[in-house]
Amino acid sequence: MGDLGVAPARGTGDSPRATARCTAHEPVGCDPEASQRRWREAWRRDPPFGDVGTRLLWENDGVRVWHLELAPGESSPLHTHMHPYFFVVVQSSRTLTEFADGSLSEDEDPAGAAVWAGLEGDHRTHVLTNVGDEVYVNRVIELLGS
């Protein structure tokens, strides 16, 4: 954790690990690595703009606050952050974030942790999965005027 208990941005220095997958739209016997390359290229060309949280709690011209809650094994929708943001962990669990560049970040921030996520290239688009045994809850705070 940095000054004031704020953890550094995610994804910096994470080692990329391949997550091979074939989608329902791929031909039978598809090449998982080729499928993943097409998936990441599609993210870069046309990033999804899904909701960054489970429920919008509050917003004004400068700030938007989301509630995010994931049961064990549950994933967020694929989404792209369009504004700099940070999140505050309300209830901790182990999470896995899969980024558009193929890198993964597994984390378990304690309740009360505030984590600056910023707005970095391929890490803006991701899926967050609760890989722990407890419900994961956070508040995502987007800075709209930035």
Q: Is the pLDDT of residue 3 over 50?
A: no
Mean pLDDT in residue range 32-44:
63
Whole-angstrom CA distances from 17 to 7, 13, 100, 101, 121 are: 23, 12, 12, 10, 18
Whole-angstrom CA distances from 24 to 20, 27, 39, 144 are: 14, 8, 12, 36
pLDDT tens figures, 121-143: 667 888 999 999 999 999 999 99
Residue 6's φ and ψ, nearest 5 degrees, are -100, 125
Q: Is the pLDDT of residue 82 over 80?
A: yes
The residue to which tokens 């910023």 are assigned:
118
For each of the domains in the chain, give its residue range(s) and CATH number, in order of start: 3-18+49-143 (2.60.120.10)
Mean pLDDT in residue range 54-59:
94
* Sign of the Cα pseudo-torsion (142, 127, 15, 30, in order): negative
Q: Is the pTM of this model over 0.85?
A: no
